[in-house]
């Protein structure tokens, strides 16, 4: 029996997807829950060991005061740890809006609904990097 099965993750849920750079998080909010948080089959505090990253993913729940009302699972792929944490935050905020649309003003004011689409720019031909041109010298 895995950790995810030990925590009851059955019943109706609300699903949402959060993204940041190249990280994608598929979120499920189980309506009847006790505040359990699983990320890729592991408890969230073990997956995000740094306190800063764990606080990032719980920001929307703390803001609306519903942290203990849901069990949450997240399947994350791509990106680095911080981008993954911000993708989870984005997904949780979007799922909370599906549960209660009245939360929109408070979540929007903090910027949790907005998708941060910045990605690394591709390298262009004739340049050393995306925008860095070779040094020019007058001869």
Judge whether 119 lies within some domain: no
Distance separating alpha carbons of residues 113 and 82, to the nearest angstrom: 17
> Which structural domain, as residue segments, surrounds residue 93?
3-110
Judge whether 74 lies within some domain: yes
Q: Give kind and range of the element (H or E) at residue 19.
A: strand 13-20
CATH assignment at residue 10: 3.30.230.10
Among residues 138, 8, 21, which one has the least CA distance to residue 87? 21
pLDDT of 8 reads 59
pLDDT at 4 over 60: no
Distance separating alpha carbons of residues 62 and 52, to the nearest angstrom: 14
pLDDT of 100 reads 87
pLDDT in tens, 22-54: 999 999 988 877 778 899 989 988 999 888 988
- Banded pLDDT at 1 (limits 50, 70, 90): very low
């Amino acid at each position: 029996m895995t950790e995810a099965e030990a925590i009851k993750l059955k019943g109706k849920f609300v699903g949402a997807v959060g993204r940041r750079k190249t990280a994608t998080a598929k979120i499920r909010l189980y309506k009847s829950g006790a505040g359990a948080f699983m990320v890729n089959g592991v408890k969230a505090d073990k997956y995000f060991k740094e306190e800063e990253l764990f606080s990032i993913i719980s920001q929307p729940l703390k803001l609306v005061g519903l942290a203990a009302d849901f069990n949450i699972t997240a399947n994350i792929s791509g990106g680095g740890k911080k981008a993954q944490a911000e993708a989870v935050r984005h997904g949780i905020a979007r799922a909370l809006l599906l549960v209660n649309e009245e939360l929109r003003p408070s979540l929007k004011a903090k910027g949790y609904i907005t998708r941060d689409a910045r990605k690394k720019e591709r390298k262009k031909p004739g340049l050393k990097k995306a925008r860095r041109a070779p040094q020019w010298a007058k001869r």
